Amino acid sequence: MKRICYLLLFTIHYSLFTSYFAHAYLKAKVVTVIYGEEKIGAFNQPQSVYFDEKRGRLYVVDTLNNRLISYDKNYKFLSQFNAEGRLKVPVSMLKDKNGHLIVTNKGEGSVLIIYLKEKLIKTIDFKGIFPRPVPSYLALDEDGHLYILDQAYKRILIFSPKNGDYKFLKAIKEPKCAGFSDIKIFDKYIYALDSLLAKVFVYDQGGRLVRSIALKSLRFPVSLALDRYGRLYILDGHQGKVFIFKESGEVIGEIGRGGWKEGRLYYPRYLLFDKENRLYVVDTGNNRVQVFKIK
């Protein structure tokens, strides 16, 4: 009987220790906070960021100012860009293998391909896709396939690269979701976030549902990201926190809390990791981008 009690006490203490350790070993330190530049003005409701690993550049999608702003790897301002006035409420941006910018132009309900060297702008062809998509956030996989979230019709649209352009390949439709709000590609899997159901749907490259992850303790998750170890980070826009999850859905850590001081978040909108394991948080309500180093 005593042996059973000792084993039970050991199990409880070990469980508490491992639970504490899981929370304690993940630490986040603010590296820098970007507010915009005095010369060009502050951000106005930025919605996302993109980090160009090849060139070491950070791009901020400054949505209500209708522009993209670039910074070097040390977060010093480089330039601003509005595609000759073509950007109308941009929300998401990527750069493909050919160096072309791909931007969701929410004000026109379109996705632009910007050929910088050629000084040419094209619109991705949605003909033949019914109902007509309402594009939002974007992702690219290692093979160059472009993924576009259709905000209105609970779809992930997949386009294949072809001669510097993109051709519609297929759509992933998810009848069990309420609508996707963010998408990321990690280790050849597609992670799509459903804000209303507080759930992440995970698909393979063939578009087959592999699993879903229920996100407990969240009020309104708006964005997701995965670090280089495969840990899942979920941004709660209402709580002003980043929650860290295991694949099982267990919370193993938190970053930030609501507020206005540096390190705090106010109606944040977007998460992104770079290869140095720095976490970019688009702190939309505070009109800034905060950069955290995860240790």
Q: Can you give the pTM of this predicted structure?
A: 0.90
Q: What is the pLDDT of residues 242-274, one digit of tens each?
A: 999 988 889 999 999 999 999 999 999 999 999
3-state helix, strand, coil in the chain (%, to 5): 10, 50, 40
Q: Residue 163's pLDDT is what?
A: 87
Class of domain 38-229: mainly beta
Q: Where are the domains of the chain?
A: 38-229
Q: Residue 25's pLDDT is what?
A: 53
Q: Residue 21's pLDDT is what?
A: 32
124, 114 contact by CB (below 8 A): no
Q: What is the pLDDT of residues 105-126, one digit of tens each?
A: 999 999 999 999 999 999 999 9
Q: What is the pLDDT of residues 8-20, one digit of tens each?
A: 333 334 333 333 3
153, 134 contact by CB (below 8 A): yes
Tokens 């790897």 belong to residue: 73
38: confidence class by pLDDT, cuts 50, 70, 90: confident
* 99 has pLDDT over 50: yes
The conformation of residue 240, written as its DSSP 8-state character, comes to T
Q: What is the pLDDT of residues 60-78, one digit of tens each?
A: 999 999 999 999 999 999 9
Distance CA 62, CA 227 (A): 24
Distance CA 288, CA 31 (A): 13
144, 171 contact by CB (below 8 A): no
